[in-house]
Structure 1
Amino acid sequence: MDLKVDYAFKQMFGSEKNKRITIVFLNAILKRTGRNTIQEVAFMSQEVGGEYKEVKQSRLDIVVKTQDQQMINIEIQLSNQHDMFKRTLYYWAQLYTSQLQKGMGYYKLVPTITVNICNFTVFPQNVDYHSTFHLYEDKTLKRLAIQDDVLEVHFIEMNKFLEQWHKGQLKPLDDILARWLLLLGMVDARKKKVYDKIFCELEELAMKDEHLLEAFNAWEELSLSQEDVIAYQSRLKYILDEEAKLEDVKHMAEQKGIEEGKKEEKEEIANNLLANNMDIDFISKITGLSVERIEEIKEGLIQKNDE
């Protein structure tokens, strides 16, 4: 299974039986070490919002609460729906405000973190595959409320990561996050391909990393479950179908834009020819516009001159 497909990702990193894997993965993403590490997580409801009928309800991929009561949302995105930034802020806001119960003071709100793992380019100008955002003051770049940083957003761009790995710019043996991202990048569902080179390196790394080995075993178990395979294939088909629809709409919009551009160009030519007293039938043959449309353009010119 391609772990970048949200169903497989949730089964791997969002289940109680794989909690240790989730904790190691989160510490790698958030660069938590020593006393700052996440030691325990509780999986939370993935439904946020919808308290009132008019409020949109969202289903997040994975939501956990740490031993420090921090909320972390992990989202995996196989396809680019071109709404990543607004969706991220909306999800973050819903999760952050969901903590506030009736009669509870604002001071009790704890930091909320969003992690987006994207199978597409989010920041074309950035070389790094891992970007982290907080709230800063524009001039001084001083972080807002540094002692209690309420907002933290991570973007991981898988295509940049894999490109750097293929170029030999990364050292997974010394980089825990790189190991886990290789796990996500080993299978490409669209191309129906397993990257043997990545598999060989992961196999070697797993001999030295017990958590990675545990993830390999969980992945294998997941891939052998007929029920999970059927659910995975169904979800993958839905994602690819939606992706195809988006491409069709985009193509239609582009074609419409071209046609509208051609029409405007033809009408501009008709305008110029009418200004030079050319015959309407002749203009129709030259531009392909109907006689009726050219007469409308001519009428418009007459009214403009009268004004």
Structure 2
Amino acid sequence: MSEKALKRIPLDKLMDLKVDYAFKQMFGSEKNKEITVVFLNAILKRTGRDIIKEIIFKNVEIGGEYLNDKQSRLDILVKTQDDQQVNVEIQFTNKYDLVKRTIYYWSQVYSDQIAKGMGYAELNPTITLNILNFNLFSETDLFHTTFHLYEDEEKFRMDNIMEFHFIEIPKLLRHWKEERLDPWNDVLARWLLLLGIVDHRKDRVYEDIYKELEEIAMKDEHLMDAFAIWEEISSTPDGLLAYRTRLKQVMDEESIIREAELREKAALEKGLEKGLEQGTQIANEKTAYRLLQTNLSLEDIAKATELSIERVEELKKKAGF
């Protein structure tokens, strides 16, 4: 077993598991279902009779977000043995409006259950898990936050149909640096730290985390399997090509957003009429970039943003859509 855990390829050659392609190869595959079950039980804190024992991977397409939009594709959607639906989303880049998008996706997954002749009482609980490569909530230092519907005054839950989890990896890593995590006794901590070992955005790896988790894996069979799967998917030529293509795409998306933000800031700092016009132009370009992800026509995007069709085409090519 110890030989299985020892890395056979350099850490910096391992895929960043926070990139959706790599995450789905690890946790969204039927052959790796056992570690997905362990992972979900850790996040949802399921123990005893409530433990998830079996999952079925479901179709991950849901209805479009806009009129005439094509279907959106979820990262991982499973159904548990007690008919609960769990949607797991990995977000490498902050594309903004995440909370609203999360609620929208939840509503689609929840409502897609209903068929002709069904009663509302037959609808089963739906849970959304968001794993984020950025900080989202400034109100808390918690890296794992959970939300339900509660009564405002007495705080009792209205129902059990809606549940949202947000996991912020940067906060998790800060807790690690401050020695506030104990992966030996906290199953959730060890699985989330696994996701944080490789950071291809910052071109960094956390060898200290790897070494500690590798030692824990000697006693944790599922974590051991995860290490083996990670090395395997990071060594397959076709998989590596798909991963690098996806990584380049998400990094380019980040670069476009960052460039627009810097230009907007510079324009606003000038405070001149020309600068304000540039700021408006940049804001319109950011809106166009988001709309390009919805498959709206170039004409509709140009009309909505007051940009020329030629400029929208340039943004489309630059973003790689």
Shorter-normalised TM-score: what interval? 0.7 to 0.9
Higher Rg: 1
1:249 equivalenced with 2:260 (yes/no): yes
Mapping for residues 1-307 of structure 1, pairs under 5 Å: 1-50=15-64, 54=68, 57-145=71-159, 149-260=160-271
Query: For residues 264 and 62 of structure 1, what CA distance do their matches in structure 2 show?
Result: 44
**Offset, 1:85:** 0.5
- The structure-2 alpha-carbon separation of the partners of 1:75 and 1:209, relative to structure 1 and needing over 3 Å to count, comes to same
Equivalence for 1:285: none
Structure 1: 4+ residue segments shifted above 4 A = 50-53, 261-265
Query: For residues 55 and 110 of structure 1, what CA distance do their matches in structure 2 show?
Result: 27
Equivalent AA in structure 2 for residue 94 of structure 1: Q
**Offset, 1:262:** 6.9
Equivalent AA in structure 2 for residue 104 of structure 1: M
Residues 226-261 of structure 1, C-alpha deviations (whole Å, 9 max, x = no match): 111000000000000011001111122223323345
Query: For residues 154 and 196 of structure 1, what CA distance do their matches in structure 2 show?
Result: 28
Give aligned pairs, total.
262
DSSP-derived class of the 2:106 partner:
helix
- The structure-2 alpha-carbon separation of the partners of 1:235 and 1:10, relative to structure 1 and needing over 3 Å to count, comes to same
Residues 60-93 of structure 1, C-alpha deviations (whole Å, 9 max, x = no match): 1000000011110000111111121111001101
Query: For residues 230 and 29 of structure 2, what CA distance do their matches in structure 1 show?
Result: 12
Residues 95-136 of structure 1, C-alpha deviations (whole Å, 9 max, x = no match): 000101122111110000000000111111201110000001
- The structure-2 alpha-carbon separation of the partners of 1:72 and 1:131, relative to structure 1 and needing over 3 Å to count, comes to same
**Offset, 1:152:** 0.1
% identical equivalent positions = 56
Report which stretch shifted further, 254-263 or 233-242.
Answer: 254-263
Alpha-carbon RMSD: 1.9
Query: For residues 240 and 227 of structure 1, what CA distance do their matches in structure 2 show?
Result: 20
Query: For residues 56 and 111 of structure 1, what CA distance do their matches in structure 2 show?
Result: 26
**Offset, 1:50:** 4.2
8 Å CA contact 2:17–2:195 kept in 1: the answer is yes
TM-score with structure 2 setting the length: 0.78
- The structure-2 alpha-carbon separation of the partners of 1:85 and 1:261, relative to structure 1 and needing over 3 Å to count, comes to farther
8 Å CA contact 2:65–2:72 kept in 1: the answer is no
**Offset, 1:55:** 5.8
**Offset, 1:49:** 1.1
Unmatched tracts of structure 1, length 5 or more:
266-307
Residues 182-212 of structure 1, C-alpha deviations (whole Å, 9 max, x = no match): 1100001112222111111011010010010
Unmatched tracts of structure 2, length 5 or more:
1-14, 277-321
